[in-house]
Amino acid sequence: MDVYVLKNKREASQKAFELIKQEMDKGAKTLGLATGSTPEDLYDIMTNSHVDFSDMTSVNLDEYVGLTPEDPQSYAYFMEKHLFSKKPFKQTYVPNGLADEAEETERYNQIIKDNPIDLQILGIGTNGHIGFNEPGTSFETKTSKVALTDSTIESNKVYFDHEEDVPRFAYSMGIQSIMESKKIILMAFGENKADVIQKMVEGPVTEDVPASVLQKHPHVVVIVDEEAGALLNK
């Protein structure tokens, strides 16, 4: 793992953007994209850049089960608002939160197979989840319907009017599919991520901290701000 500790979220996002451009110059065609507050600055930088994404395909990590793409809390809506409406891609994929479980997981696995991910962008949950692969998830999973843990519901309730409104399930790309990406950039910002970043980078590889699996991937870049990197042994 290459770890960069940068001054703040903006500088860290700028670094991630430079790496995306480098990969595109080398021929990357498919980006794996994430939602949440973590990639917001990156998408802003992409939006305001002169880089043309109209030949690129994107595959998003996850979506809440039961939300329509028009629902402002859905990840499809988030992507449209922060990136796709401003920077056209050739093709974008987000799991369909309304679809039948068996059909959707099969469809999404096929999409990932047909569009091998050159560069996957990841955030991380405070409990170490990547996508919505919660602690305890097997490293062998492909796309599946997952139950959100209480801590994830707690973290994500800020985006909803009431805690009861937070969906209890999501469709998520699996850890195995994430690990098949050729290159991965994981970003994390703020002191509430410091503990999990230390565990992910320096702790044992364990299903209790899903992101720790990334230690086994040959091309991972971790980009954090000073707060999220505060507990790392430098």
The active-site residue out of 129, 133, 156, 227 is 129
Distance CA 53, CA 200 (A): 31
Tell me how far, at minimum, the Cβ of 155 lies from ligand GLP, in Å.
7
Largest CA distance in the chain: 47
**Residue 32 binds ligand GLP (CB under 6 A):** no
Tell me how far, at minimum, the Cβ of 43 lies from ligand GLP, in Å.
12
**Residue 37 binds ligand GLP (CB under 6 A):** yes
Phi, psi of 2 (to 5 degrees): -95, 125
Is the distance from CB of 93 to CB of 60 less than 8 angstroms? yes
**Residue 123 binds ligand GLP (CB under 6 A):** yes
Distance CA 16, CA 29 (A): 17
> In terms of CB distance, is 74 or 156 closer to ligand GLP?
156
Can you list the positions of beta strands (E) in the chain?
A: 2-6, 30-33, 57-60, 62-64, 91-93, 119-122, 144-147, 169-172, 183-188, 220-225
Among 30, 105, 144, 156, binds ligand GLP (CB under 6 A): 156
The active-site residue out of 23, 41, 60, 62 is 62
> In terms of CB distance, is 57 or 152 closer to ligand GLP?
152
- From the list 92, 100, 56, 91, the residue with the least C-alpha distance to 75 is 92
AA letter at 78: F
**Residue 185 binds ligand GLP (CB under 6 A):** no
**Residue 152 binds ligand GLP (CB under 6 A):** yes
The active-site residue out of 104, 134, 225, 227 is 134
> In terms of CB distance, is 62 or 118 closer to ligand GLP?
62
User: If you write DSSP's letter for every residue of 24-42 in order, what string do you get?
Assistant: HHTT--EEEE--SSTTHHH
> In terms of CB distance, is 30 or 156 closer to ligand GLP?
156
> In terms of CB distance, is 131 or 229 closer to ligand GLP?
131
Among 20, 42, 59, 61, binds ligand GLP (CB under 6 A): 61
Query: Which listed range, 13-21, 45-53, 124-132, 223-231, lies at the site for ligand GLP (CB under 6 A)?
Result: 124-132
- From the list 116, 119, 120, the residue with the least C-alpha distance to 23 is 119
Is the distance from CB of 57 to CB of 89 less than 8 angstroms? yes
Among 95, 125, 174, 229, binds ligand GLP (CB under 6 A): 125
The residues assigned a catalytic role are 62, 127, 129, 134
